[in-house]
Copies of this chain bind each other. A is one copy, B any other.
């Protein structure tokens, strides 16, 4: 622990070997607990490590090791502003920490070109695996990922073809289930309120599934309000007010997610509209606050943590694989 380094230079494995009076290979074997070594050697190395405050250099280790890939995984997510993605990371890190594998993250801001650049940047660290969000990528991204020679896991969305492994649920099915729920409850004049679909493709898939199920019931969406920018309660509140101003006769609104729905709920409270008597609200994600509302929000709970965990478990595997973790419709009291 004492700082007896020659200033400016960190201890190396060679220093440890000298200090412990053993060979480099022995130190390496002891530190990785790989191969056989005597108890005595183990002790001397441990002492020397403590004395020098040695921290192994994994850059060198990974470079020298078999396959030259690092015990790191690269993760590209579109945003950190939407709780969904931190939740995903949460599941991931909880599973990966157990193995001592850290995540290197990149945030694409929903921009496919940025995603491609991030994938290239992350691959340059020779990660053991690459985790992407969604199934839609630039051709260049796919080419890079395939050529990179790493396991690729795509998270969240199962509606389409994956590069390698896919872990998530069907957004179309979520939309369809949501629509069927509203129809079964007797709602007929249904509107949609969402954030930018061109950007959040999965929200678009949900809406597509929603409309299909609606038309199967002989209904059609009465109104659609798309707000620019990311989803948020503020956007949901303003959006619902705008939607109702244009279509006061709606009896239910399907939101692109719970954040938007919370804003919608606030708009109803502020305007004194009875929920769900005057207007029913239906969300998506099953965030924490949904259950704490005076009337629990009707929504669909997605297995976000579990997706992260399963994605981590997938890294070990081989070959293409799709894991559909499903979702759970929460009846709630707003629809």
Contact = CB atoms under 8 A, between A and B. Distances in A.
A81 to B, nearest CB: 6
Interface in A59-96: 59-60, 62-63, 68, 70, 72, 80-81, 83, 85-87, 89-90, 93-94
B270 A289 contact: no
Contact of A291 (B122, B144, B234): B234
A243 B175 CA distance: 40
A287 B13 CA distance: 48
A58 interface: yes
A104 B107 contact: no
A292 B58 contact: no
B104 A57 contact: no
A122 B104 CA distance: 11
Interface stretch (A39-47, A152-160, A183-191, A261-269): A261-269
Interface in A235-268: 236-237, 259, 262-263, 266
Interface stretch (A123-131, A166-174, A208-216): A123-131
A203 B293 CA distance: 24
A329 interface: no
Contact of A93 (B59, B105, B232, B294): B105
A217 interface: no
Interface string A14-53: 0000000000000000000000000000000000000001
A88 B259 CA distance: 20
A228 interface: no
Contacts of A226: none
Nearest to A148: B55
A300 to B, nearest CB: 18
| Residue of A3, A85, A102, A259 ringed by the most chain B CB atoms within 10 A | A102
Q: Give the interface residue-count category, chain A.
A: 35 or more
* Oligomer copy total: 2
Contact of A289 (B57, B262, B294): B262
B53 A147 contact: yes
A318 interface: no
B288 A232 contact: yes
B53 A57 contact: no
A315 interface: no
A76 to B, nearest CB: 10
Contacts of A118: 97, 102
Interface of A: 1, 3, 5, 8, 10, 53, 55-60, 62-63, 68, 70, 72, 80-81, 83, 85-87, 89-90, 93-94, 97, 100, 102-107, 118, 120-126, 143-144, 146-149, 232-234, 236-237, 259, 262-263, 266, 269-270, 288-289, 291-294
Given A56-B124, A232-B289, A263-B289, 16 more contacts: A3-B147, A8-B149, A57-B124, A58-B124, A60-B63, A63-B63, A81-B90, A83-B83, A83-B86, A100-B121, A104-B104, A232-B288, A233-B288, A236-B292, A266-B293, A289-B289
